Every structure is written in structure tokens, then in C-alpha cells.
């Protein structure tokens, strides 16, 4: 089997703007992204695609809220499962169509994936990830009382639910990912960071939490022995002093150098920070290279002509 590349794409990258967020719009954007994924597969890489699902889960939670007087609210772990399947379907269909046009005989399979988190993770005592719609003060009080949710006011716009964001520790379906790769498939897995589950003795149980999709991608890449992790984001390269007059693009850097920039707080926790953390985590697990770039430069980045390359 050829070297494995894990490609992590953001859920936000499937939505170009607020007025282009319908399923049809997302499918069209996915088709564009899949042309770049096909380039990677055509170059001889075995590919696992992971993806975010933040906006899509938000849409589902809003629909659930609007229908709450007729149907039960949808649990967060079920929202993750539903959006994994929905986005996976878009990627499967788009990539299969692209392969067919190029004469590439390669199956594409979506695997709804559970990711184990530690029930003792401190994140469960400090919910910090805002999700879903805005509620009034009265609605928030009722939800806290009836469902046990944690809600906090968000910049004067209303109250939003906060959930934990624990670190991933194990990918339940890792053997199935490996089996599908050996069969020659492109595998779509760990959507939205995976469905967060805890182990209760031998049983699995879903929990209301959100796993960072780049950390989950890093974990999966390390567990399946991937050579390369590619993180697709909104910018072509990682920058020092981003947005300032002296911003500097990073081309090829060592993991040690990148760690020093992270420690110097060059990368905010709300944007590039988690991606750099995931990159360093993957390299510590034995990975050889992490590439960070935008969708349009994926093929050039893998050819060494674009993007930021972090080497072990």
C-alpha cells in the first residue's frame, strides 16, 4: 500500500457565505474541493478525508429548536452522527463523479466514526464551546432547569449553549479505516472530530461534547501510520504576525521551530492555534510531515510548491 495522507478539511470551507449555505450550495463547493482531493489520489497517495461540521451541526440544532414544540430536541452526539453522514454523502458523490471523469477506478466510503474521550477530562468541568442558536434569558433558564444545559450570554446577542471540548484518546473504528484503505478505498472518517463517546466498562456511551476535528485527525493519522497530515484552511500559508504590517509567511519549518512560535502565542486559540497543536501532536506520534494550506493550493502544496510544511 502506498503512503497514507490524511486530509482534514473545515466544515466552514463548505459554506462560501451566509447567503450560499443551502445543501445545493454546499454540494457545489464540495465538488470543487473534491477536484483537489482527486489530484492527491491521482498522484498515488492513499487518502483519508476528515472534515469539520460546526456550521452544519449549528443548522441542525436550530431546526431542532424551532421544532421543539412538536418533536424532542436532537442530542448533540446524534447531530454529529447525522452531519457526518450528510457531509460524507456530499464528498462520496462528488469524489466518485470526479474519479469517473478521470477514469480512476477507486471507491469512496464514508465511515460514521466514534472517538473515545476520557470521562475525567477537565473539559467536562469547564464547558467552553458555544454551539447552536441564541436563546432569550427566559428560554436559557428553562433549558438549564429542564435539560441541565450550561448557557451563557454571548456579546449581548442572547444566550448560547456551552459544551465541553475534551481531547480525543482513541478512534473506535480505526481497524475498519485500515481495512478499507487496504481494499483501495478513499475513506471519509472522523467527521466533525468524531462522535464523542466514553467507555463505561466495556460499553460505549455518547456524550454532549465537541472534539476538535484537527486533533481527531492528528490522532487518526498517527494511529493508522500515515506519513503526512494535510490541514486545509482559509489561508495558503501559516503566517507570523498575521494581519500586521510585518506578517511573514512560513514555508518549510521544523517542529521545534513551530513549537517555539506556538509558545510565543503567535497562533490564536480561535484560529491557527489548534491546527498547529494538531500538527505537532501528529509529528510526535511518528508522522513525517504536516502541510497547512488552502483548498486551491492542495496539489501544489503536496508537490512542495505552496503551503507551510512542518517537518519532524
Active site residues: 11-12, 129, 213, 275
Provide the 8-state DSSP code for 14.
G
- Give yes or no for a contact between 188 and 194, defined as CB atoms under 8 angstroms apart: no
Using DSSP's 3-state secondary structure scheme, residue 5 falls into strand
Strand partners, 8: 50, 231
Joined together, the cell numbers standing for residue 235 give 489561508
For the beta carbon of residue 50, count every other beta carbon within 10 angstroms: 27
List, as own/partner pairs, every contact residues 15-19 make where C-beta atoms lie below 8 angstroms and the sequence separation is at least 24, other chains included.
Answer: 15/55
Going edge to edge, which strands form the sheet with 203-206?
A: 168-171, 114-117, 195-200, 203-206
User: Helices (H) and strands (E) in the chain — how many of each?
Assistant: 9, 17
Residues 250, 77: Cα–Cα separation, whole Å: 37
| Signed CA dihedral, 296, 302, 86, 287: sign only | negative
Q: Which residue has the cell 473539559?
A: 123
- Give yes or no for a contact between 150 and 161, defined as CB atoms under 8 angstroms apart: yes
- Give yes or no for a contact between 44 and 186, defined as CB atoms under 8 angstroms apart: no
- Residues across the chain: 312
**Buried b / exposed e along 103-121 (16+ C-beta atoms within 10 A):** eeebebbbbbbbbbbeeeb
Joined together, the cell numbers standing for residue 219 give 490522532
Q: Which residue has the cell 521551530?
A: 257
Q: Which residue has the cell 487496504?
A: 182
Amino acid at each position: 500500500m502506498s503512503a497514507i495522507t490524511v486530509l482534514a478539511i473545515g466544515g466552514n470551507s463548505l459554506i462560501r457565505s451566509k447567503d450560499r449555505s443551502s445543501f445545493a450550495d454546499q454540494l457545489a463547493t464540495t465538488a470543487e474541493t473534491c477536484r483537489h482531493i482527486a489530484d492527491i489520489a491521482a498522484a498515488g497517495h492513499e487518502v483519508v478525508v476528515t472534515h469539520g461540521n460546526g456550521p452544519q451541526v449549528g443548522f441542525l440544532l436550530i431546526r431542532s429548536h424551532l421544532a421543539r414544540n412538536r418533536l424532542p430536541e436532537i442530542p448533540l452526539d446524534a447531530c454529529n452522527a447525522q452531519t457526518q453522514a450528510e457531509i460524507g454523502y456530499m464528498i462520496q458523490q462528488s469524489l466518485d463523479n470526479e474519479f469517473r471523469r478521470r477514469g480512476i477506478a477507486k471507491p469512496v466510503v464514508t465511515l460514521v466514526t466514534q472517538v473515545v474521550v476520557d470521562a475525567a477530562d477537565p473539559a467536562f468541568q469547564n464547558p467552553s464551546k458555544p454551539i447552536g442558536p441564541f436563546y432569550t434569558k427566559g428560554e436559557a433558564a428553562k433549558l438549564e432547569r429542564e435539560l441541565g444545559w450550561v448557557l451563557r450570554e454571548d456579546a449581548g446577542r442572547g444566550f448560547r449553549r456551552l459544551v465541553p471540548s475534551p481531547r480525543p484518546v482513541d478512534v473506535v473504528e480505526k481497524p475498519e479505516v485500515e481495512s478499507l484503505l487496504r481494499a483501495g478505498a478513499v475513506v471519509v472518517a472522523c467527521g466533525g472530530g468524531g462522535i464523542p463517546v466514553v467507555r463505561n466498562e466495556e460499553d460505549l456511551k455518547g456524550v454532549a461534547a465537541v472534539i476538535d476535528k484537527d486533533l481527531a485527525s492528528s490522532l487518526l493519522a498517527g494511529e493508522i501510520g500515515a506519513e503526512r497530515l494535510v490541514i486545509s484552511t482559509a489561508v495558503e500559508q501559516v503566517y507570523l504576525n498575521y494581519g500586521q504590517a510585518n506578517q511573514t509567511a512560513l514555508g518549510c519549518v521544523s517542529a521545534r521551530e513551530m513549537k517555539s512560535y506556538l509558545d510565543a502565542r503567535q497562533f490564536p486559540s480561535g484560529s491557527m492555534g489548534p491546527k498547529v497543536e494538531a500538527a505537532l501532536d501528529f509529528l510526535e506520534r511518528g508522522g513525517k510531515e504536516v502541510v497547512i494550506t488552502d483548498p486551491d493550493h492542495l496539489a501544489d502544496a503536496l508537490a512542495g510548491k505552496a503551503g507551510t510544511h512542518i517537518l519532524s
